[in-house]
Amino acid sequence: MQTIKDTLAENLGGPATLLGSHQFKLDDCPDLSGKVAVVTGGSEGIGFGVTYTLLKHNIAKLFILSKSKEVVDGAKDAMAKELGQDKADRTVWMECDLSDWVRVKDVAEAIKREASRLDILVNNAGRGIMPAEFTPLGVDRHMAVNHIGHVVLTSHLLPLMKRTAEQGHTVRISNQASNVHYQAPAETRFASLEEINTDVGPNGQYGRSKLAAILYARYFDRNVTKKGHPNVLMNATHPGLVSTKQSRTSIFEAFPLGGYAMSHGIEPFKKDQFEGAVPTIYAVTTTKESGQYICAPAIPEAGSDLSQSEELADNLMELTRNVVREKTRSESADKGCPFDDLVLH
Ligand SMILES: NC(=O)c1ccc[n+]([C@@H]2O[C@H](COP(=O)([O-])OP(=O)(O)OC[C@H]3O[C@@H](n4cnc5c(N)ncnc54)[C@H](OP(=O)(O)O)[C@@H]3O)[C@@H](O)[C@H]2O)c1
């Protein structure tokens, strides 16, 4: 019976969220005075729910990484109106397309110059359930944005996060995953670029990138948290079914007709962007664990069999390192500045 209640709590909004076995509310977020955060895709949807909550709880400085200035301007106006100009002024927007890994590295370096500590990193931005597409570097866009861009960002920010932890703070990173990771192809091995560039349909494409988000958290736990950095934690999260641009609009690109059920039919049962932010806020302010898959509101779940495979996680991260090195050579090694400094841990 509790399993059914947990499933309802994880995926649906409203009172269903009170059924879960591990409760957490946004009001349980501790005071964050003095802390610094980075949130990708922090200007709309679930990401806005996250940035709003961090500011409400007094975060000192918050970097938002996203593509659209117009959207971030709207978000800042909303924050100023509801939380006051002082809170809105604590946000710094950095234009960053996560599929452009050279730009991602530059943005990470800029953050390291501007901030003397980094307590929270929310790897949230993402391409939703949409058709397969390649980036200009010739890599599947779901993997390039949802997984690889976040690995590049995290890896370049990691020295600052380790320093913050060494000063006696707990540093927390969250990766926005999804229960759609169960729809990653059963034969996923993360063995080659060719494999991740194979079109497996909108759910498969998206699911594979979300499987990567969970595997990365578990890999990080083994290779960073448990290898000398006990206060640097990384977890993956599932927000449930949330009413955002992804679930209302983008879904039509993949399913011009069937998307109607997702965008309108089940709209009354979806969570709002604040309810959708709950597991992330728990993961980046409260949990003491690392390497978990945290479903809404704060329920640790095993995830799919694939998500628990250490071998698959190792394959994924080796492939990630190789693809980044190979694809950014002309912008780095060939100009005398190797991108080989992508130390994943
Ligand atoms: N909604 C759900 O039901 C649901 C369920 C499970 C998981 N999720 C995950 O939750 C996360 C947030 O999604 P959401 O539902 O809140 O959707 P959303 O409202 O569409 O927000 C997506 C955010 O990602 C940013 N983004 C997209 N592509 C980017 C890129 N290439 N580089 C940098 N930023 C990029 C967008 O910024 P710009 O507008 O500036 O591009 C936007 O801020 C995603 O990872 C999503 O997969 C959502």
pLDDT tens column, 169-203: 999 999 999 999 999 999 999 999 999 999 999 99
Which candidate, 88, 48, 40, places its Cα nearest to that of 65? Answer: 40
Exposure of 276 in the CB half-sphere (CA atoms within 13 A): 25
Instruction: Identify the pLDDT of residue 17.
Output: 87
The segments of the chain whose pLDDT lies below 70 read 251-252, 255-266, 332-345
How far away, in angstroms, is 338 Cα from ligand 1 center?
30
**Ligand 1 test: best mutation among 12, 43, 44, most atoms within 8 Å of CB?**
44
In the sheet with 171-176, reading across from the earlier edge strand, the strands are 91-95, 61-66, 36-40, 120-123, 171-176, 232-238, 293-295, 299-301
> What share of residues in the chain are helix, strand, coil (percent, to 5)?
55, 10, 35
Instruction: Identify the pLDDT of residue 344.
Output: 58
How far away, in angstroms, is 198 Cα from ligand 1 center?
22
Provide residues with CB under 6 Å of ligand 1.
40-41, 43-47, 66-68, 71, 96-99, 124-128, 145, 176, 178, 239, 241-242, 244-247
Instruction: Identify the pLDDT of residue 173.
Output: 98
Instruction: Identify the pLDDT of residue 342.
Output: 55
Instruction: Identify the pLDDT of residue 236.
Output: 98
Tell me the fold of 2-6+25-331. Answer: Rossmann fold (3.40.50)
Q: What is the pLDDT of residues 231-260, one digit of tens each?
A: 999 999 999 999 888 777 776 677 666 656
Nearest atom (ligand 1) to Cα of 243? 1
Rg (CA), the chain: 19
Is the pTM of the predicted complex or chain greater than 0.85? Answer: yes
How far apart CA 212 and CA 318 sit, in angstroms, is 12
Instruction: Identify the pLDDT of residue 14.
Output: 87
Instruction: Identify the pLDDT of residue 270.
Output: 86
**Ligand 1 test: best mutation among 62, 237, 246, most atoms within 8 Å of CB?**
246
